[in-house]
Amino acid sequence: MEGYGTWNLSGSHSGKYSGQFRQNMFHGYGTFIRADGGKYFGQWVDDKKTGKGTYIFANGNKYVGDFKDSNVHGEGIYSYADGGKYEGKWAWDEIVNGTYTSVKGVKLKDAM
């Protein structure tokens, strides 16, 4: 597969991808909607979320920021469905440092 297209996947990674392909892999900008309701919009490199992107979880939480090898990695904002949010730095899906702001506006540095 080369260029732009849509692919419906089944099995453990079931969902629908619409976007750019290179050598049969997700590569470039694309959208992946998982069967469980999670959605990713952003950059892909060799089938992995890499670069800038947005992931909206089925529970309403959302992450906007950097990805590397399909991990949250770099600067980003994680917004909770209840209105709280965490802004900071991530490394391999783990929070490194930043600030949590509660729904009432209370800020906690290096929280989480």
pLDDT tens-digit readout, 82-109? 999 999 999 999 989 999 999 998 888 8
Q: Coil, strand, or helix at residue 11?
A: helix
Confidence of residue 1 (pLDDT cuts 50, 70, 90): confident
Domain extent, residue 43, equals 3-109
Q: Record the pTM.
A: 0.90
Tokens of 67: 């990805």
49: CATH: 2.20.110.10
Determine the pLDDT at residue 112: 55
Give 5-14 pLDDT, tens digit per residue.
999 988 877 9
Q: What is the mean pLDDT of the chain?
A: 94
Task: Give the whole-angstrom CA distance, residue 108 versus residue 24.
Answer: 45
Counting the structural domains of the chain, the total is: 1
